[in-house]
Amino acid sequence: MFPKDLKERIKEKSYQLGFVLAGVTTPDPPLHYSTFERWLAQGHHGTMGYLATERSRLRRADPHEIMPECQSILVLATPYNAPLPLREGPGVRGQIASYAWGADYHEVLPARMEELLRFIEEQVGHSVKNRWYTDTGPILERDLAQRAGIGWIGKNTCLIHPKHGSYFLLSEILLDLPLSPDPPFATDHCGTCTRCIEACPTDCILPDRTIDATRCISYLTIELKDEIPVEIRDKIGNWVFGCDICQMVCPWNRFAGEGDPVFGQDNPAQPLHEEVSMSSQQFQQRFKGTPVKRAKRRGYLRNTAVGLGNTGDRHALPVLQKALHDEEPLVREHARWAINKINQREGVTLQTRTENNDEP
């Protein structure tokens, strides 16, 4: 093993780079891999088939399958701001998960990890083989983070730290360097609290600290590329990208501090009636360099149409009628649902299913 002070110097450098937490663990197989396998077997991953491939599962089961030379794993956490109340103004604004208010962490954190790696190599005097990820690799990062002492996996499946809450992003660096592991975070501080379970509008939180992704608003508004199931649409409210509800009600987030300003200070979504009529160019300009671009225009407008339907505001009908002529069938179908939703009070309905070349 390298001297313990090397690990402390690495941690101190990570704090200087904006990582609020840092811990080291071994590349041993994750303790909760069997939970992951059961989750897949039950189909709770939905359309995220990449999680269930044989190669992906082998690598998640053993970090050495990713990097045989790995001797230790450095786990890092970067804070983002907690959600704020929506600004008042004309029209209902859509809600975007607070991690996505600013720059895309997939583009921000790699540069910080690369700088940290350069520092590590300077300290040891030679190159160090490595692999790094930030929600991009086939590893069970919350499992590794708990084992590295970063926090515990809460009932809402988020990793929670007693002094920093859960508003942070995880990153991992696999190192060909024998750093001493930190003690795992052994205490479960959720206790008897069930606020997250009770607050979830779609009942997606499962008893074994996993979620049924097919019912999770974050999955439905980001990962799902097709139609949102009709029976869930009215439970989504005005969330147009991701969801923060289970974190917003968590008592431990009372202690969450300031987030990294690069990830944004305020919800960038505009009133829903403006969003649903965005052109492709407007979407690209508005969300370039942010996580929201992952939903693509068709997904984002699908979500905003659902949000408008859930407002029940008849003033939204003109823009929804216009959306019935959108180039994307997915947008047209959800606009049609929204119109029906708003008109239900008066018994006025449209055909709820849109064909590719239909007209109202």
Q: What pLDDT is recorded for position 37? A: 97
Please tell me the least confidently modeled range out of 7-11, 107-111, 316-320, 342-346: 342-346
- Segment 242-257 mean pLDDT: 94
Q: What pLDDT is recorded for position 355? A: 44
**Is pLDDT of 91 > 80?**
no
**Is pLDDT of 1 > 90?**
no
Q: What pLDDT is recorded for position 92? A: 87
- Counting residues of the chain whose pLDDT is more than 90, the rounded percentage is 88
Q: What pLDDT is recorded for position 86? A: 67
Grade residue 256 by pLDDT with cuts at 50, 70 and 90.
Answer: confident
Task: Report the candidate in 152, 132, 230, 238 with the shortest Cα–Cα distance to residue 193.
Answer: 152
- Segment 46-67 mean pLDDT: 96
Helical (H) or strand (E) element with 78: strand 72-79
- Segment 78-107 mean pLDDT: 88
- Segment 251-260 mean pLDDT: 91
Q: What pLDDT is recorded for position 359? A: 40
List, for residues 314-342, the tens digit of each pLDDT value: 999 999 999 999 999 999 999 999 999 99
Please tell me the least confidently modeled range out of 298-307, 324-333, 334-343, 345-354: 345-354
Question: What is the rounded CA–CA span in Å between residue 176 and residue 70?
Answer: 5
**Is pLDDT of 351 > 70?**
no
Q: What pLDDT is recorded for position 349? A: 55
Task: Report the candidate in 202, 211, 210 with the shortest Cα–Cα distance to residue 231.
Answer: 202
Mark out the alpha helices in the chain (DSSP H runs): 4-16, 33-41, 54-61, 105-124, 141-147, 195-199, 217-218, 230-233, 245-248, 272-275, 280-287, 296-311, 317-323, 329-343
Q: What pLDDT is recorded for position 356? A: 43
Q: What pLDDT is recorded for position 255? A: 84
Q: How many CB atoms lie within 10 A of CB 173?
A: 25
List, for residues 34-51, the tens digit of each pLDDT value: 999 999 999 999 999 999
- Segment 175-191 mean pLDDT: 95
CA distances from 58 to 53, 124, 150 (A): 9, 31, 25
List, for residues 206-243, the tens digit of each pLDDT value: 999 999 999 999 999 999 999 999 999 999 999 999 99
Grade residue 3 by pLDDT with cuts at 50, 70 and 90.
Answer: low
Pairing of strands 95-96, 159-160: unpaired
- Segment 64-87 mean pLDDT: 92
Q: What pLDDT is recorded for position 345? A: 65
- Segment 343-357 mean pLDDT: 57
- Counting residues of the chain whose pLDDT is more than 70, the rounded percentage is 93
The set of catalytic residues is 135
Q: What pLDDT is recorded for position 89? A: 58
Mean pLDDT of the chain: 93
Q: What pLDDT is recorded for position 27? A: 97
Q: What pLDDT is recorded for position 101? A: 96
Please tell me the least confidently modeled range out of 81-95, 180-194, 244-258, 318-332: 81-95
Cα(first)–Cα(last) distance of the chain, in Å?
Answer: 70
